[in-house]
Amino acid sequence: MYDVIVIGSGPGGYVAAIRAAQLGLKTAIIEKYSTLGGTCLNVGCIPSKALLDSSEHYHNAAHTFKTHGINLSNLKVDLKQMIARKDDVVKQNVDGIQFLMKKNKIDVHHGLGSFVDATTVKVSKEDGKSEEIKGKNIIIATGSKPASLPFIKLDKDRIITSTEALKMKEIPKHLIVIGGGVIGMELGSVYGRMGSKVSVVEYMDSLIPSMDKTMGKELQKSLKKLGFEFFLKHKVTAVESKGKEVTVKAENGKGETIEIKGDYVLVSIGRKPYTDGLNAEAAGVKLNDRGQVEVNEHLQTSASNIYAIGDVVKGAMLAHKAEEEGVFVAEVIAGQKPHINYNLIPGVVYTWPEVASVGFTEEQLKEKGVKYKTGKFPFMASGRARASMDTDGLVKVLADSETDEILGVHMIGPRTADMIAEAVVAMEYRASAEDISRMSHAHPTYTEAFKEACLAATENRALHI
Ligand SMILES: Cc1cc2nc3c(=O)[nH]c(=O)nc-3n(C[C@H](O)[C@H](O)[C@H](O)COP(=O)(O)OP(=O)(O)OC[C@H]3O[C@@H](n4cnc5c(N)ncnc54)[C@H](O)[C@@H]3O)c2cc1C
C-alpha cells in the first residue's frame, strides 16, 4: 500500500511525487510513455524552447550579425542537426527526471493507469501484461492533448499539431497557423525565422488574446517585421490537404470567405484535458462538461482520497502552475496548509521579443471597476536594449490609483521571460510602484525598464524618457 500514487509524470505529476517523497510518504508514479516528463519535457516547453533558441541564432546570424560587424558566408540551416540537438536536450531533461525519481526512492511504473476503485490502479503495460497497485491517496496528473475542430482531419503530415511541428523534416515554404495563441506564435516564429512565410488565422481581434491587449498589438508589429501575415477576426471553416498543398478557408465576419494555400497547416487552437483510459468513474471521480476533472479548493476530486492537478483541471495550462499544484497537493496529503496565489502565476510567450505578464490586465481592471494608473517604458529608450539591438517592446505597469500597489505587469521585450520574476516577487509582497522605483537596478540591464515603468506609474517621473 503506497501513501501516494501519482498518475502521469508531467511537471505536475513528477513534482508532486518528489514533494510527497520529501515529506516521507511512500510514493509511486505511473507513466504510459517510456520516458518521464510529460508534454512539457517531451513535446512542449523544452523542445519548443530548444528550437526557438536555434532558430533565433540563425535569424541573428542572417540579419543582425552584419551590423554587429560579423560577416558570415554560406550561412544555411541544417534542420536535421537542429532537430537532433533538440532531441538531445529533451533526452537530458527526461533522463534527469528518471534520476530524480531514483534519488527520491519513488517507484516508477510504466503503463496506462486506470482506476479499478478509489484505492486501486491497474497498470497496463505495452507487452500486454498488467499489475494492480494500491494507494491511500491518488493524484491524477494526466495532462492534456492538442485540441482541434470537428471538421479538421489532423493527418499529422501536412495538417499538423505542435507535436509534429517539433520534428519537421523540411522547413515549410508557407506555414498556415490556425490560432494566434502562445503555441502558434512560438512555433510560427521558429519557421518564420528560418524563411517560411507564416500566415496566422485567428478568430479573436488580437493575438495572444488572453493577455493584456497592448501585448498582442506589440507582438503583431514585431512578427510583421519577420514577414508574418495576419487574418484576425477570421473563423476557419475548412481545412483540406491534397498532395503537398493545403488549403484553409475562413470567414471574415462580413460573410466573405478567404482561401489561403500553403504547404503545412499548424492547428494550435488550444489543448484539451486528457483522461482517456483512466476509468475515472470507477473511483467515483467526476469530470465537468469541459472534460476537466472537477476539484474543490484543495484540488480534491469528488472522491475524497483522490486529487487532480495541472492541465487536467481548471486554470492556466502552464507547467509552473502544474508544479505549484503538485507541491500543494503533496503538502495537503501530508497534513500541511499550503497556499497558491493563482493571480500571481506568470504567463510567458517565448517569441522574440518575449512577452511576459503577471496579475491583472488593463481590460480586467476596467471590467472590475478598479481605479488604476499606468506607467510605460519602451525598450527603445533602454541603453542595454540599444546595445543588443533589441529595442522592440515596452514594459507596462498597472498600479492602484490610490494605494499605488502594483496590480499587473505586462512586458514585451528582450528576456522579459526572466524579468517577470521580479514583478512576481514585488506583487507577492504587495509592493507599490514607488517601492520598485526606489530600488537600485543594475545598469545597464533590461530590468531598468521595469523600474522606469514603475517610476512612470508613480508620478510620471521616468528618468530616461
Ligand atoms: C508546444 C508546447 C509548448 C509549451 N510551452 C510551455 C512553456 O514554455 N511554459 C509552460 O509553462 N507551459 C508550456 N506548455 C504547456 C505545458 O506543457 C503544460 O501545461 C504542462 O505539461 C502540463 O503539465 P501536466 O503535468 O498537467 O501534464 P502533462 O505534461 O501533459 O503530463 C501528463 C502525463 O500523463 C501521462 N498520462 C496520461 N494519462 C495517463 C494514464 N492514464 N496513465 C499513465 N500516464 C498517463 C501522459 O503520457 C503525460 O506524460 C507548452 C505546451 C506545448 C504543447
Answer whether residue 424 shows pLDDT above 90.
Answer: yes
The residue whose CB lies within 8 Å of the most ligand 1 atoms, and thus the one to mutate among 14, 132, 142, is: 142
Contacts of 297 (CB under 8 A, 6+ apart): none
**Per-residue pLDDT at 5:** 99
Ligand 1 atom 49: residue of nearest CA: 38
Q: How confident is the model at residue 459 (pLDDT cuts 50, 70, 90)?
A: confident
DSSP letters for 164-201: HHTT-SS--SEEEEE--SHHHHHHHHHHHHTT-EEEEE
What's the 177 CA to ligand 1 centre distance in angstroms?
A: 21
Q: What is the DSSP letter of 292?
A: P
| Ligand 1 atom nearest residue 320's Cα | 11
Q: Residue 166 is which amino acid?
A: L
Binding-site entries for NAD(+): 179-186, 202, 270
pLDDT digits (tens, 9 = 90+) for 381-420: 999 999 999 999 999 999 999 999 999 999 999 999 999 9
Average pLDDT over every residue of 422-439:
98
3-state secondary structure of 392: coil
Average pLDDT over every residue of 436-440:
98
Q: Are 331 and 139 in contact (CB under 8 A)?
A: no
What's the 46 CA to ligand 1 centre distance in angstroms?
A: 11
| Ligand 1 atom nearest residue 317's Cα | 19
What's the 13 CA to ligand 1 centre distance in angstroms?
A: 9
Average pLDDT over every residue of 322-337:
98
Distance of CA 428 to the CA centre of its chain: 21
pLDDT digits (tens, 9 = 90+) for 360-388: 999 999 999 999 999 999 999 999 999 99
Residue 391 grid coordinates? 529595442
Q: How confident is the model at residue 216 (pLDDT cuts 50, 70, 90)?
A: very high
Q: What is the DSSP letter of 158?
A: S
pLDDT digits (tens, 9 = 90+) for 254-308: 889 999 999 999 999 999 999 999 999 999 999 999 999 999 999 999 999 999 9
**Per-residue pLDDT at 305:** 98
pTM assigned to the model: 0.97
Distances (CA, A) of 126 to 39, 110, 123, 131, 323: 19, 8, 10, 12, 28
Distances (CA, A) of 415 to 191, 230, 379, 381, 462: 20, 25, 11, 16, 21
Binding-site entries: 49, 113, 142-144, 179-186, 202, 270, 311, 317-320
Ligand 1 atom 51: residue of nearest CA: 44
What's the 272 CA to ligand 1 centre distance in angstroms?
A: 11
Average pLDDT over every residue of 346-365:
98
Q: How confident is the model at residue 180 (pLDDT cuts 50, 70, 90)?
A: very high
What's the 374 CA to ligand 1 centre distance in angstroms?
A: 35
Distance CA 436, CA 7 (A): 42
Answer whether residue 422 shows pLDDT above 90.
Answer: yes
Annotated active-site residue 443? The verdict is yes
Distance CA 3, CA 29 (A): 11
Distance CA 234, CA 250 (A): 6
What's the 275 CA to ligand 1 centre distance in angstroms?
A: 12
Answer whether residue 253 shows pLDDT above 90.
Answer: no
**Per-residue pLDDT at 81:** 98
Q: Are 208 and 355 in contact (CB under 8 A)?
A: yes
Ligand 1 atom 37: residue of nearest CA: 142
DSSP letters for 232-286: TT-EEEEEEEETTEEEEEEE-SSS-EEEEEESEEEE-S-EEE--TT--GGGGT--
What's the 248 CA to ligand 1 centre distance in angstroms?
A: 28
pLDDT digits (tens, 9 = 90+) for 34-58: 999 999 999 999 999 999 999 999 9
Ligand 1 atom 45: residue of nearest CA: 8
| Ligand 1 atom nearest residue 111's Cα | 43
The residue whose CB lies within 8 Å of the most ligand 1 atoms, and thus the one to mutate among 31, 39, 276, is: 39
Cis peptide, bond prior to residue 150, ω within 30 of zero = no
Catalytic residue among 59, 68, 339, 443: 443
Binding-site entries for FAD: 49, 113, 142-144, 311, 317-320
Domains and CATH numbers, the chain: 2-146+272-342 (3.50.50.60), 159-269 (3.50.50.60), 353-457 (3.30.390.30)
pLDDT digits (tens, 9 = 90+) for 115-128: 999 999 999 999 99
| Ligand 1 atom nearest residue 187's Cα | 1
Distance CA 120, CA 105 (A): 21
Please list every protein residue whose CB sits less than 6 Å from any atom of ligand 1. Answer: 7-13, 30-33, 38-40, 44-45, 48, 112-113, 141-144, 162, 183, 274, 277-278, 310-312, 317-320, 322, 350
Answer whether residue 16 shows pLDDT above 90.
Answer: yes
Mean pLDDT of the chain: 98
What's the 408 CA to ligand 1 centre distance in angstroms?
A: 27
Q: Are 157 and 169 in contact (CB under 8 A)?
A: no
